[in-house]
Structure 1
Amino acid sequence: MKIPSPHDLGVHKLLKPLRPLISPIVDWPAKQRLRAAVNIADLRQCAKMRAHKMVFDYLDSGADDEIILRRAKDAYSELEMHYHVLSGLQPPLDLSTKVFGCDVKLPFFACPTAGNRMFHHEGESAAAAAAAHHGTLYGLSSLGTTSIPDIAKICPGPKVFQLYVWKDRGLLQEVIKKAKDGGFDALALTVDFTWYGNRERDIRNGFTIPPNYSLKQIIQAIQRPAWTWDFISNDAYTYANINKDVPADSLAAFVNSQINPAFNWDDAEWLMKEWNGPAAIKGVVRPDDAKRAVQVGFSTMWVSNHGARQLETSPATIDVLPSIREAVGPNVEIILDGGVQRGTDIAKALALGADSVGCGKPYLYGLAAGGTEGVIKALNILKVELDRAMGLLGVGTVDELKKKGPSLIKRRVSGTSVRDFPYPGPNGCC
């Protein structure tokens, strides 16, 4: 017999009128921590202090032993930045570029991620508002907890809609139509989620959406009053872009019934014809797959390993990026995500062949730490760090960084010596 949840009992309806009085009190410590944060690592700690342990670990974890989760971050530290001096730059620098053919003010953006309202009741709305604030791309997951029309109202700028490999072609057609009607500029098909990764922190925590109200989870909820008040004083969330009648606690069953491991290149080609617009294949780490994706009709290669949450010991995305660029040539758009924690990471990715960079965990830490304010701060931290890195490198624009990039980035060898990164330069040589 299922134990009724607070939402089943209508507790949120009784508590909602009290939010203006109680929320500022319970959120005060979290807001103070958020305002004191100076980098993404600080935001991670802010998120850990505010969010339910089960929720934070879901956000923070990787697959199996989390080897690639660590490697993905460490790979950036193996790349040195060999800067020019006396470049004569005059601030402010130009961080603008194009993504999916759309003008944006920043060469990075918040990746589409599922279930944002489990971290903070503002959910995807906070990330969309932050994207609008910074003038950059916004990515919405098909497992988002905020509807496409609501996102369109908050973020009128460039948007990409992420789609999974569902079995039901009717469902695919339905969400594609919603995305088109909602003014989304591009589609991103996630192809590295045909099986669910082994995320052992979730297993140890007994992770469920929403919490299953075990004694352990109740105790952990008491220890995180800001998150708990936020959760129980707002409406229960659903996955608004697949089926509003699918409650959050039925998500796992729905996904397991709909994800299609048999989805293949022919299905992808059909999908490209249905969408008939700019589209990315998200989850590419091999040059041969990238070449085939171009042939199928994808305009953009999205180099990603699903945040190190799927196949353990898959490659760090920054390590395979140059080979993807070499495979598809200079004119195919490339997006990279994975392991990004600093603006210097973004600069390295742009220098080594990416046209833009997606960030997942950094903005979700901000969201879990403080809603819209937290996401705006996360993106601003990365913006300031990227601006500083470009200035110190001696490049004044994103285009200049991409053009000169191969000469600026060198890989450490044996801990002391360095060599050029194997990436074709302007004349086709390293």
Structure 2
Amino acid sequence: MRSAVTVEDVRRIARRRLPRPVFDTLEGGAGDEVSLRANESAFARIEFRPRPLTDVTTRDLSTVVFGERLSSPILLAPTGASRIAHSAAELAVAGAAARTDTVYMQSTVAAFPLEQVARAAPGRLWFQLYLPRTRDETAALLGRIEMAGYRALSVTIDTPVFGNRERDARSRLLSRTPWHPQTLAHGLARPAWAMDFVRGNLGPRRPGGRSRFTLTQTRQSIMTSSFSVTWEDLDHVRGLWKGPLMVKGLLRGDECGRLADAGVDGVIVSNHGGRQLDGVPATVDVLPEVVAAAAGRLVVFVDGGFRRGADVAKALCLGASGVFVGRPYLYGLAAGGEDGVVRVVELLRSELDRTMALLGAATVADLEAGLVTGARAPRAPAQGG
């Protein structure tokens, strides 16, 4: 892992370690994967305009979000696939977040109970919420999240149904039992992954640990669930949750005013990594519109397609307060467990630091719109929006 000098290097290591269907589950998107590709390619249209003659002898990557100072604006996104990348799953990611002094937002779809993750890595943990079926279940879950010490909550709003993820449908990995002949064949081809999967995911339950887990159970639980969220649901959550509240999955600016009026504190511009509705725009293309519409009333984050520290710098110049990365740390998790996740964060931070120096930005606050060109202009809000 120490030989990896880019996220792409880490990705190659992960690809060699994982069976092809498992790697495709981490890597794939919905439909024709147009939005998946657009998330990455959109950064190439945005060019830097460095400002020289600035003292950048030292740089400070820290930033303040929701009143707390973070060591950098690079945050770890919620992902539901960490369990098939490595048996330590969320425990390893949370541990890496603690070691690198950044935020990890744990997914509702997790291999380990949220309380166990919180105990394993106390620190800046946030929680991503898929809305339970009933109000009573919602209240109970939010009570657990608060008691465990999670500091902020994000409600995902772009998953009323499961996206059309055709790589998974073709491989059928997630619809088979672990003992299906083809699943066993994939495991034998990647023995290190297979041993980790069997030891960590199919062994006896440990006291206070995660439940016995199978790929089939996970696939069925997700595909048969509906996570539709309404304005009334959001009002209900806001009434129960005392800390910072965000919504994740926003791709338009004309709802920002109503979100702020509803007591929402922040938004995450996201297309779910291209894994939900194919054909939506790249998130960095929507970012300027949302930032303009938020008008300082909402903290704006973004995810989707970030593979370089330079990509992070571009988003910060366009007004993002922080950038969530998902697939990059999953590559690190698959390649080297907790140490692999740490390595990915280190690589992205190192690239961000170097980019800031070359741009003439000594602090994150110095990254502003005048340092980039080629970004899409904000759209005018819809009438009545």
TM-score using structure 2 length: 0.92
Where structure 1 has 5 or more consecutive residues not aligned to the other structure, the ranges are 1-33, 412-419, 425-430
What SS does structure 2 have at the residue aligned with 1:133? helix
User: What's the counterpart of residue 74 of structure 1?
Assistant: 41
1:339 aligns with 2:305: yes
Range with greater deviation from structure 2 (387-396 or 95-104):
95-104
Give the Å deviation of 1:256.
4.3
For 1:79 and 1:292, locate their aligned partners in 2 and report how far apart those are by CA, in whole Å.
30
1:205 aligns with 2:171: yes
1:141 aligns with 2:107: yes
What SS does structure 2 have at the residue aligned with 1:340? coil
394, 409, 422: which is aligned to 2:372?
Answer: 409
- Asked whether the equivalents of residues 95 and 397 of structure 1 are also in contact (C-alpha less than 8 Å), the reply is yes
Give the Å deviation of 1:125.
1.2
Computing the radius of gyration over CA atoms, which structure comes out larger, 1 or 2? 1
Taking a change above 3 Å as real, the CA distance of residues 237 and 347 of structure 1, as seen in their structure-2 partners, is farther
Give the Å deviation of 1:380.
0.5
Alpha-carbon displacement from aligned partner over 1:100-151 (angstroms, at most 9, x marks no partner):
3322101011101114221111111111111111111111011111222222
User: What's the counterpart of residue 57 of structure 1?
Assistant: 24
- Paired AA for residue 316 in structure 1: A
Alpha-carbon displacement from aligned partner over 1:200-232 (angstroms, at most 9, x marks no partner):
110111021775433222221111111001111
- Paired AA for residue 119 in structure 1: A
1:234 aligns with 2:200: yes
Taking a change above 3 Å as real, the CA distance of residues 254 and 244 of structure 1, as seen in their structure-2 partners, is farther
Taking a change above 3 Å as real, the CA distance of residues 238 and 139 of structure 1, as seen in their structure-2 partners, is farther
Give 1:239-388 correspondences, 5 Å limit: 247-248=213-214, 249-261=216-228, 263-388=229-354
- Asked whether the equivalents of residues 409 and 421 of structure 1 are also in contact (C-alpha less than 8 Å), the reply is no
For 2:297 and 2:261, locate their aligned partners in 1 and report how far apart those are by CA, in whole Å.
14
User: What's the counterpart of residue 195 of structure 1?
Assistant: 161
- Paired AA for residue 117 in structure 1: R
User: What's the counterpart of residue 383 of structure 2?
Assistant: none
Taking a change above 3 Å as real, the CA distance of residues 169 and 258 of structure 1, as seen in their structure-2 partners, is farther
Alpha-carbon displacement from aligned partner over 1:271-325 (angstroms, at most 9, x marks no partner):
1111132011000011112222212221001100001000001110100101101
Give the Å deviation of 1:168.
2.3
- Paired AA for residue 203 in structure 1: A
How many residues matched? 376
Alpha-carbon displacement from aligned partner over 1:167-192 (angstroms, at most 9, x marks no partner):
22222222211110011110000010
For 2:109 and 2:230, locate their aligned partners in 1 and report how far apart those are by CA, in whole Å.
21
- Asked whether the equivalents of residues 132 and 154 of structure 1 are also in contact (C-alpha less than 8 Å), the reply is no
- Asked whether the equivalents of residues 86 and 337 of structure 2 are also in contact (C-alpha less than 8 Å), the reply is yes
- Asked whether the equivalents of residues 332 and 341 of structure 2 are also in contact (C-alpha less than 8 Å), the reply is yes
Taking a change above 3 Å as real, the CA distance of residues 231 and 245 of structure 1, as seen in their structure-2 partners, is closer
Give the Å deviation of 1:383.
0.5
- Paired AA for residue 195 in structure 2: W
For 2:198 and 2:102, locate their aligned partners in 1 and report how far apart those are by CA, in whole Å.
32
Range with greater deviation from structure 2 (169-178 or 366-375):
169-178
For 2:165 and 2:62, locate their aligned partners in 1 and report how far apart those are by CA, in whole Å.
37
- Paired AA for residue 127 in structure 1: V
1:155 aligns with 2:155: no
- Paired AA for residue 66 in structure 1: E
Give the Å deviation of 1:247.
4.5
Alpha-carbon displacement from aligned partner over 1:79-115 (angstroms, at most 9, x marks no partner):
0011011212122x11111233322101011101114
User: What's the counterpart of residue 46 of structure 1?
Assistant: 13
Give 1:55-134 correspondences, 5 Å limit: 55-91=22-58, 93-134=59-100
What SS does structure 1 have at the residue aligned with 2:106? strand
What SS does structure 2 have at the residue aligned with 1:288? coil
User: What's the counterpart of residue 361 of structure 2?
Assistant: 395
- Asked whether the equivalents of residues 158 and 249 of structure 2 are also in contact (C-alpha less than 8 Å), the reply is yes
Alpha-carbon displacement from aligned partner over 1:378-426 (angstroms, at most 9, x marks no partner):
100000000000010001111121xxx1111101xxxxxxxx76369xx
What SS does structure 1 have at the residue aligned with 2:200? coil
- Paired AA for residue 157 in structure 2: V
1:422 aligns with 2:385: no
Taking a change above 3 Å as real, the CA distance of residues 239 and 163 of structure 1, as seen in their structure-2 partners, is farther
- Asked whether the equivalents of residues 14 and 332 of structure 2 are also in contact (C-alpha less than 8 Å), the reply is yes
For 2:44 and 2:165, locate their aligned partners in 1 and report how far apart those are by CA, in whole Å.
25
- Asked whether the equivalents of residues 145 and 238 of structure 1 are also in contact (C-alpha less than 8 Å), the reply is no
User: What's the counterpart of residue 30 of structure 1?
Assistant: none
For 2:152 and 2:226, locate their aligned partners in 1 and report how far apart those are by CA, in whole Å.
21
Give the Å deviation of 1:346.
0.4
- Paired AA for residue 370 in structure 2: S
Where structure 2 has 5 or more consecutive residues not aligned to the other structure, the ranges are 380-385
- Asked whether the equivalents of residues 264 and 298 of structure 2 are also in contact (C-alpha less than 8 Å), the reply is no
